[in-house]
Amino acid sequence: MSCATTITPACLQAIYGIPTIVATQSSNKLGVSGFIGQFANQADLKQFLTSFRTDISSATTFTL
């Protein structure tokens, strides 16, 4: 796939110069808002990790 035809997390890393280093802090938190039927979803996270981040366990979860 080419970043000219398909945008992936790897493309976004390259376009915006996001470092590829793995985070080492375990106490970081991220807040996500949901609007108009769009919200954080465990099944979507699993699919994303399986498709794009095979370096992270697809069993990773989050707390609502």
- How confident is the chain (64 residues) per 10-residue block, as mean pLDDT? 86 90 77 88 93 89 85
- pLDDT of res. 1: 62
Q: Which among 51, 60, 43, 62 has a CA at the least distance from the CA of 6?
A: 51
pLDDT of residue 23: 74
Measured in whole angstroms, the distance separating CA 14 from the mean position of its chain's CA atoms is 15
Q: In this predicted structure, what is the pLDDT of residue 47?
A: 95
H or E segment and range at residue 9: helix 9-16
How far is it, in rounded angstroms, from Cα 39 to Cα 20? 26
**What pLDDT is stored for residue 51 in this prediction?**
92
User: Residues 45, 61: contact at Cβ < 8 Å?
Assistant: yes
Q: 62, 15, 11, 23: which is closest to 39 by C-alpha?
A: 62
pTM score: 0.68
